[in-house]
Amino acid sequence: MQRYIFRRLVQMIPIALGISVLMFTLLTLAPGDPVDLLISSDPRVKPEDVIRLKHLYGLDQPIHIRYLKWLGRTVRGDLGFSRTYKEPVTELMQDRIGNSLWLTVTAFVLAIAVAVPVGIFSALHQYSALDYTATTFTFFGVSIPVFWFGIMAIYLFAVWHPWTQIPGLAGLVLPPGGISTPGVPGGLPFFLDRVRYIILPSIVLALLSMATYTRYTRSSMLEVIRQDYVRTARAKGLAEGVVVNKHALRNALIPLVTIIALSISGLFAGAPITETVFAWPGVGRLLVDSVIGGDYVAAQAVLMFLAVLVLIFNLIADVGYALLDPRIKYD
C-alpha cells in the first residue's frame, strides 16, 4: 500500500503541472489584465505609464516566461499579491480556507448523516412510502438550482418566518448572510452565534450531495442484498442487523466511497454559489470576486487549490477501496 501511495503521489506532479499550465494560460488570455482595468478606471493614464506598469507587473514578457516565474514563486509558497484586497494571496487564502472548511465540513457531515441511513432504509424497504419519499427528495435535490434554493431559504427563515407567531418558536429566525455577529464575546456565545449563521448555507450546500448520496446508497444496497452471500448469511440464522451491518453495508459502501471522496472537493468547487448567496467569506466567494474584479493572481491560487484537492481526494478514494474490500490489493 505504501508503494502504491508513493507512486500515486509521484503521478500527481505532472498532472498538477498540466493543470497549472492550462489554468495559467486561460486566465492570462482572458481579457482585462491589471493595467487594462486601471486604464479603464482612469483615462488620464499616460502611454508611458502603461509601459512602465506592464513592465512592473511583468506583462510585457512572453507567456511561458511569466508562467515559469509564477510556478517558481508558487513552489516557494509565494502566491502573489492581490490587487483587489491589497494583501498577499497567501494570507488571504489562509483566512478564507478556514471559513470554507467550517462550511464544507458541516455540509458534508450533514449530507452523510442524512443520506446514508435514509438510503439504507429505503433499500431495505423497497417500494414503501419512505422509499417513494426518498426518491422524490433525490429528484428534488438534484434538479433544484442551488442559488434559487438559497434565496428561498433566506426568504423563508430570515425574512418571512411566519412560525414566529407560534409560542416557543419566536426565536427561530436565522441570519440571511455573513459568518458572525460583530461584538459577540468569545467562548460558547461565539460558537453558538457561528452555528446560527452556518445553518442555512450548510443545508443549501449539502442538498445536492445529500440527494446524490441517498440515491447511490440505495442502489448499491439493493444490489448487495440480492447477492448469494447475503442470502447465505440469512439462511444461517444471523440476526438481520448483523446481516445488514456486517455483510451487506460494508460492500455496499465501496462504490459510495468514490462519490463521497470526489464530492468533498466538489463541495469546495460548488461553494462559490452558496458562499456568494449567503455572503460567506470563503474560498468560493474569493474566486467569484477575483474573477469579476480581474484579480487573476488570487483566482489562479484558488483554482490550483481546488485542483490539488481533487487529486488528493482521488487518492483517498482509491485507498478507501482497499480498506473496505480486502479483495482489492494495490501492491
Highest averaged pLDDT of the listed ranges 18-27, 45-54, 158-167? 18-27
The DSSP element (H or E) to which 82 belongs, if any, is strand 81-82
Residue-wise pLDDT for 293-311, tens only, equals 778 888 888 888 888 888 8
CA separation for the pair 44, 105 (Å, rounded): 48
Which one has a higher pLDDT value, 35 or 130?
130
Reference 81, options 34, 49, 41; nearest CA is 34
| C-alpha cell read off for 86 | 491589497
Whole-number percent of the chain with pLDDT over 70: 85
Residues 136-147, mean pLDDT to the nearest whole number: 84
Residue-wise pLDDT for 219-266, tens only, equals 888 888 888 887 887 787 777 777 777 777 777 777 777 777 777 766
Alpha carbon distances (Å) from 269 to 100, 189, 204, 284: 10, 31, 14, 7
pLDDT at 43 exceeding the cut of 70: no
CB contact at 8 A, 219 and 135: no
Which one has a higher pLDDT value, 318 or 113?
113
Q: Which amino acid is at 74?
A: T
Mean of the per-residue pLDDT values of the chain: 81
pLDDT at 165 exceeding the cut of 70: no
Query: What pLDDT is attached to residue 18?
Result: 92
* Complete domains list, the chain, with CATH: 96-324 (1.10.3720.10)
- All residues at 6 or more sequence positions from 235 whose CB lies less than 8 Å from its CB, including other chains: none
DSSP state of 69: H
Reference 207, options 281, 152, 128; nearest CA is 152
CA separation for the pair 157, 176 (Å, rounded): 8
| C-alpha cell read off for 51 | 509601459
Q: Among the residues of the chain, which ranges form H helices?
A: 2-29, 34-41, 47-57, 63-75, 89-124, 129-143, 146-154, 188-224, 228-235, 240-242, 249-277, 283-292, 296-324
Reference 37, options 63, 64, 59; nearest CA is 59
Residue 88, strand partner residues: 81
325 three-state secondary structure: coil
Q: Is this structure's pTM higher than 0.75?
A: yes
CB contact at 8 A, 259 and 268: no
DSSP states of 110-166 as a string?
Answer: HHHHHHHHHHHHHHHTTTSHHHHHHHHHHHHHHHS-HHHHHHHHHIIIIII-GGGGS
